[in-house]
Amino acid sequence: MTLSAPSGLTAGDVRERTLAGLANGAPEESSRSLWRILRSNVLTLFNGIVGGCFLLLLLLGQWKDALFGFAALSNAVIGVVQEYRAKRLLDQLAVLDAPQARVLRDGRVQEIAVADVVMDDICVLQAGDQVVADAVIIDDDGLEIDESVLTGESEPVGKDKGSPVLSGSSVSAGQGRARVVAVGAGSYASRLTAEAKRFSLVNSEIRNAINRVLRWISWALLPVVAIITNGQMQAKGGWEAAFRTGAWEEALVGAVGAAIAMIPLGLVLMTSVAFAVGGARLARLNVLVQELAAVEGLARVDVLCIDKTGTLTEGRVVFDDVHDTGLHATGQELPRGWREALGWFGSDPHANATARCLAPAFAFDGGAAPAAVVPFSSARKWSAASFDRPHAAAGTWVLGAPDMVFAAGSLSGAPSEALLGQARRLASLGLRTLVLAYTPHMLPGEDDDDVRLPAGLAAATLLTFREKVRPDAARTLAYFRQQGVDVKVLSGDDPRTVTAVAREVGLDVGAGYDARQLPSDPHRLEETLDSFSVFGRVTPAQKRDMVLALQRMGHTVAMTGDGVNDALALKEADIGIAMDTAAPATKAVARLVLLDGRFNRLPAVLAEGRQVIANIERVSVLFLSKTTYAVCLSVIFGALMWSYPFLPRQLSATDGLTIGIPAFFLALMGNARRYRPGFLRRSLSLAIPAGIIVAAAVIAVQAYAMAAGGFSAGANRTASVLTLTLVALTILTAVSRPVSGLRLAVVAAMATGVVLLMTVPLLTDFFMLEWPPPGLLAASLTASAAAILAVLVLNRMHARRYPADHATEPPV
């Protein structure tokens, strides 16, 4: 077919449209500026209080007591780096990856940058090209468009004059020309990109819980600091006396120490470290974690939505089988050379993707070329070749869709209705079906525009093709079902095909649901999602709506996919997972990318997420118990106007030995406990009473010291340090259960550190520790023993209330 030759736009037309803003350039602005990222992570009330305390101690010359400032700085840096990395990924997001576009201007074909395409340009499309702007076909020659990256429909779509083509799709066969009708932000690809560029952080229960605690503490800090500051000044003889004698500096240092003790700085740092280490472990399994908190996200998932093409299947069609057409039943023999004919169709350089699948199964020796050929066309849905030498049986062989071949030719032999019925039954199993037909007549010599099949066609055999299922899909999905994760298949393909693939990977499903009949009413949509597991003909917008509906129903949703049609759903899902073959836009919005395309990596991600959640829950008890006893001590000592019993540097030492250092090891140890909702509730139910027990023990020691009198400030502080460390080590031992050799080693090392802290002169001098006299030492040990017993009883009660539930190990 010869295409007509319009001249296209002139240079003046292009200039006019470019000045009018009708060019194909996409907006480059980011979804979130660097300033907004810095402001949200640095300019907070929480950081303001910590930074103010840090600067105050530096101004007072107490740099030894200002070591906590480095932990606060680390937290801010980690937050900024993490969000800036997400911003850069979003800024690089692009659905269109075609380097240049081919357009007709001033009567000749020119190659220009994609951004220079303007409204009404005539794009010249050839096989392998990507469509760079929304357009309408003005003429074509067997043009087929692959829209799978946009719609999920795996079969190419034939396009005739007047048919629309969407930006982001690609030409799989034929050629044609199309007039641009939408450019830039108005094109389909740009609208998808704009929606995907919306900034969002992964919904992390750990991060949400910690942020909630930090908000509570931030608002409680101001009144508590006011109480403790006033109490410290009064303990020095009142505000006037404190400023007159210079005792205000010591009082202020004590107030700062009380305020900083309330803040679980290390918890944020340990959480980020656990996420980062989990991400590094998964990187060794070829799983790219694009946002750290996504490591724990999959552990909370209870619904896994998966696309068929590229996820359950490898995205390519393979030859399935040959089926008898009933020709023998009529007393006829199969034509000689049908296998060689199939070999030729498979080796034809112009064959489409389905026909090419025949090449490995049927040999073609490269013998006699056909005398006449009709190439495959999506409009005809068949191809044909005539041979005049005995390479195959002399005559014409036709390969195509049964309904089109039977309708187009004069079928002899088996009744056409029976063959069509057989073809429909095979199609209902999710198989793509073609017929190979033969006639001794040659192809008529009409022009390509009016090709007709010769008469006397006999159906030689039916051929079936199927999508190649990933070998790891069935086992992986079985593991998720075993772990209580519901699986939903959302695909753009025919529901029958999707259902067949779902059954092949072991999913127990009924009939597939045609999403073209999906209700728009939110309540009815939720009911439909509850009733069906397999959905076909799903549009990108419907995928997103279905994910949102599942979330409204209270589910935590993971979504896997590889096409741009999946990008919006991946963006909205709690955890988006992209395959290695995914489009750039899909990879950019996904939280996890399976770099080697192995679907069986997901159980390892699930196990890593469980480890992170369980270990962060474990160490959060340590940090939150410290916050609890710090608040109690601050309020009570401030209200009673007693001198605060710790210096900031002493609290830094006790925190390091009983919380910070052991938390680092505990956060990275193996832990296969199954996830249960309520992370913060469980942590606080142990941390708050444990913190109150610690505070009560320290208050009892200080009450004894004040009642007995005659003890130095250094001895009082040392007795409080000893009491706090002994009880805090008990809490550390409690949260380290179940006991293992490595956990026992960590606890023993920390106990050894406490002994060194209390006995090595260099350390006692730096931390201003002074061994207490016998009476005060006895009071400290007695209060510690009572508190230790209370912590052990509390831990046993907590374990009974929240028993651990260990998960099945993931398949290797």
What does the CA dihedral 309, 314, 315, 321 come to, rounded to 10 degrees?
-110
Amino acid identity of residue 412, one-letter, is S
- Side-chain half-sphere exposure of 198, counting CA atoms within 13 A: 11
Residue corresponding to tokens 């590094």? 280
- Sign of the Cα pseudo-torsion (214, 216, 222, 228, in order): negative
Instruction: Please state whether beta strands 122-126 and 100-105 pair in parallel, antiparallel, or not at all (unpaired).
Output: antiparallel
Largest CA distance in the chain: 120
Q: From 359, 435, 439, select the one nearest 397 (Cα to Cα).
A: 439
Catalytic residues: 307
Residue corresponding to tokens 């944020």? 268
DSSP readout, 561-596? E-SGGGHHHHHHSSEEEE-TT--HHHHHH-SEEETT
Q: How many CB atoms lie within 10 A of CB 633?
A: 27
State the first-to-last Cα distance of the chain, in angstroms, to the nearest integer: 55
| CA 269 distance to own-chain centroid | 22
3-state secondary structure of 474: helix
Q: From 460, 441, 463, select the one nearest 335 (Cα to Cα).
A: 460
- DSSP assigned state of 536: E
- Sign of the Cα pseudo-torsion (734, 740, 746, 749, in order): positive
DSSP readout, 348-392? -TT--HHHHTTTTTS---S-SPPSEEEEEETTTTEEEEEESSTTS
d(CA 308, CA 636): 62
Decide if 141 contacts 159 (C-beta within 8 A).
no
Q: Which residues contact 729 (CB under 8 A, 6 or more apart)?
A: 657, 658, 747, 750, 751, 754
| CA 702 distance to own-chain centroid | 52
3-state secondary structure of 137: strand
Q: How many CB atoms lie within 10 A of CB 283?
A: 12
Q: What are the percentages of helix, strand and coil residues in the chain, rounded to 5?
A: 55, 15, 30
Amino acid identity of residue 288, one-letter, is L
Q: Which two tokens mark 133?
A: 């702007």
Amino acid identity of residue 237, one-letter, is G
Put the strands of the sheet holding 287-289 in their side by side order: 287-289, 592-594, 575-578, 557-561, 303-306, 486-490, 534-536, 513-514
Q: Which residues contact 200 (CB under 8 A, 6 or more apart)?
A: 571
Decide if 152 contacts 306 (C-beta within 8 A).
no
Q: How many CB atoms lie within 10 A of CB 388?
A: 12
d(CA 211, CA 293): 13
Q: Which two tokens mark 151?
A: 């719609």
3-state secondary structure 187-235: CHHHHHHHHHCCCCCCCCHHHHHHHHHHHHHHHHHHHHHHHHHHHHHHH
Decide if 611 contacts 672 (C-beta within 8 A).
yes
Tell me the C-alpha to C-alpha distance, in Å, between residue 530 and each of 523, 534, 544, 550, 572: 11, 11, 16, 9, 19
Q: Which two tokens mark 752?
A: 């050894």
